[in-house]
Amino acid sequence: MEQILANGLYLGAQYALIALGLTLIFSLMNVLNFAHGQMYVFGGFVTYTVVAQLGLPFIVGLFASAVVLAVIGALIERFLFRPVIRKSHREESTMLLAAGIAFFLDAVILLIFGEKQRGVPKIMDGVLNWDFRIIMPYDRILIGVLAIGMIIIFILFMQYSKTGRAMRALAQDRVAAQLMGVEVDRYSMIGFALGAMLAGLVGGLLVTITGINLGMGGPTSIKAFLMIMIGGAGVISGAIAGGFILGMMESIGLTLLAAYGGITYLVIFATLMVFLAIRPQGLMGKPWG
Amino acid sequence: MNIKKVVGTLVFLVVVLAVIPWAIAKSGRWDFYYTLTSVALLSIASAGVWLTFYIGRINIGQGAYALAGGYVAAILVTKVGINFWLTIPLAGLFCAGLSVLIGLPILRLRGVYFAMVTLVLTEVMRLATLALPITNGAKGITSIPLPQELSIFGLTLIPDFGTMANPKLAFYLTAVILMILCYFVLWRIVNSRLGHLCRSLQQNEELSASIGVNTAYLRVIAYSISSFFGGIAGAMFVAISQSIYPSSFQVTDSVNFMLNCFLGGLGYVFGPMLGTLVLYFGWDLLFTTGRYQLLIYSTLLILLILMLPNGILSLGIFNRKNPRS
């Protein structure tokens, strides 16, 4: 049981970090970022390139992932989403654009990094063995702790910095924020860059454990959507709750349902259906946010 | 129905049923049959997605129903031994029933929430076909026999595809006729009372509910018709490829169905057909560019969205030339 909980916590921390980026972008611009999984894969490959090919320390790779993805995110917002949001009359157009960007990033990843599965050497050796109740490699613990640390930094940033306050104001009411003197364009761009950066950071963290390959983008996006639906879209606490809940459900499901093969996600989805029938906006979302 | 519409429809019918087969026979490009058959079937599934757009919902879950329809047809043909032609409506009905069950809770969601849950549905259907015992897991169901003869009281309606000299042509004609039927049904729906009610849902759901439209019922009806289309498209696909795997229809396909509708234009019944044609052919034509295929394709897609956010059919020339839209 302790082992399951530890696995769930570890998974949940990763998931929450992915969902945070997605929900941030959604709350600021009302854009469902289909390319989030691809950004995650891109971040993983950047870390791989820096660590495994250039031979630099892991922390440099993580930093490079964050910077590269933040730049990509800012460019995407500035040159793609902003004009489309301004011109189109239907909000769905941005969804189409996001899907196009997902394909585009897939193509770029394929051309730059190839289609092979990549991984970096273990950053830490050894296994924690607590009386055979919890067995967990040290590198996993480190990654889990790093992820939780980043979540805390992110919350503090959103809560207390000027930028964070401006973004929260934007998410609450765009027009009112603008009237109070918040520069909408600037903070939308920062928000998108921040969301992309979070995706890149998770990619950089996970490349040390699961490795990374081109096909991981789509499924990651889907998991992120699941978490957002559980927690409620556009709400930071919801994304964190959704991430940890999904992580726990996956960890428990994989253990209990191991005998039946891969039906864990079927069960999770069925549960989600029932849950959504009762509470369509998720745990903490505003109705039709 | 004015004379222009009749002429336009007749020209379209002649082109797809006579001119294209003739041109292919002349030029000897038999591979085009497969491409065009795929376009016809994918545009049926896209038509379903379009109908959910029509009630104001973004549906990225059509791949799930296409997959389910395909598996229903495959299982009925190989394990139960039903004639393939009967499995097409059965697959459609199965998907429609399934979509009522799934739709009842999720159709209460709107906007991005509905889009997300349908996207997840596609992935879940793939996992379900991997996990269920009857679908044979990742190996899929292969070597499905070609469609048999369909006869009523000894009168042959459709001959056995296995004995045919040119099954490619037969598949093409079947798919095109199926597509025409589906688009006719769609066109009728849109121009009927049901269509007007659906339009009211698209514009303002609360308002239409307040003047007495049964919105919950309408949503489920529209969604189940949409899934019916997805199911028959999947079933027909199985007959052509003679195999089905959990990866036959996946998230990319669902997204593509949505893109087809967007690209053709959401305001036009025949938008999804045109969108499918352009996207599928565009992808095929770019095959010669090798490893840059996806890069060029996605760049063009993004440019198209930047310049034509309301779809190809929103261009002026099409509005005059296309009498059916």
pLDDT digits (tens, 9 = 90+) for A55-87: 888 889 999 999 999 999 999 999 888 888 887
pLDDT at B321 over 60: no
* Residues A231-265 pLDDT 10s: 887 788 888 999 999 988 888 888 887 766 667 77
* Residues B71-96 pLDDT 10s: 999 988 888 888 888 888 999 999 99
Separation CA A46–CA A52 (nearest Å):
10
By CA distance, what is B260's nearest residue in A? Answer: A96
* Residues A87-129 pLDDT 10s: 776 677 788 888 889 989 988 998 888 888 888 877 777 777 7
Average pLDDT over residues B141-166: 71
Separation CA B309–CA B40 (nearest Å):
24
pLDDT at B322 over 50: no
> Quick one: pLDDT band at residue A289, thresholds 50, 70, 90?
very low
**Structure confidence at residue A41 (pLDDT):** 93
Chain B hits for A97, Cβ within 8 Å: 302, 305-306
Chain A hits for B128, Cβ within 8 Å: 263, 266
pLDDT at B325 over 70: no
% of chain B with per-residue pLDDT over 70: 90
pLDDT at B260 over 70: yes
Instruction: Give the long-range contacts of residues B108-113, CB within 8 A, separation 24 or more.
Output: B108/A276, B108/A277, B108/A280, B108/B216, B109/A276, B109/A280, B110/A288, B110/B56, B110/B57, B110/B205, B111/A91, B111/A288, B111/B58, B112/A26, B112/A30, B112/A32, B112/A95, B112/A233, B112/B58, B113/A229, B113/A233, B113/A280, B113/A281
% of chain A with per-residue pLDDT over 70: 97
Please name the member of A96, A218, A276 whose beta carbon is closest to the beta carbon of B262.
A96
Of A113, A92, A94, the residue nearest A41 (C-alpha): A113
User: What are the residue ranges spanned by the domains of chain B?
Assistant: 3-321
CB atoms within 10 A of CB B131: 18
State how far residue A37 is from chain B, nearest Cα, in angstroms: 13
| Helical axes A184-206 vs A138-160, angle rounded to 10° | 170
Separation CA B280–CA B276 (nearest Å):
6
Mark yes or no for CB contact B309/A233 under 8 Å. Answer: no
Q: In chain A, at which residue ranges do the beta strands (DSSP E only) sit?
A: 127-130, 134-137
* Residues A159-210 pLDDT 10s: 899 999 998 888 888 888 889 888 888 999 999 999 999 999 999 988 888 8
Selected for mutation to probe chain A from B255, B258, B289, B291 (highest A CB count within 10 Å) is: B255
**H/E run at residue B150:** strand B150-152
Q: Is the CB of B184 inside 8 Å of chain A's CB atoms?
A: no
Average pLDDT over residues B115-138: 82
Mean pLDDT, chain A, rounded, equals 86
Please name the member of A108, A225, A233 whose beta carbon is closest to the beta carbon of B295.
A108
- 1-60 in chain A: CB under 8 A from chain B: 26, 30, 32, 34
* Residues B163-209 pLDDT 10s: 666 778 888 888 888 899 999 999 899 889 988 888 888 888 888 88
Q: Is the CB of B106 inside 8 Å of chain A's CB atoms?
A: yes
Q: pTM of the full predicted structure?
A: 0.84
> Quick one: pLDDT band at residue B132, thresholds 50, 70, 90?
confident
Mark yes or no for CB contact B255/A274 under 8 Å. Answer: no
- Asked if B116 contacts A32 with a C-beta cutoff of 8 angstroms, the reply is yes
Q: Which two tokens stand for residue A167?
A: 């973004």
* Residues B207-243 pLDDT 10s: 888 988 888 899 999 999 999 999 999 998 888 888 8
Indicate the SS3 state at residue A16: helix
**Structure confidence at residue B78 (pLDDT):** 86
**Structure confidence at residue A262 (pLDDT):** 66
- 104-123 in chain A: CB under 8 A from chain B: 104, 106-108, 110-111
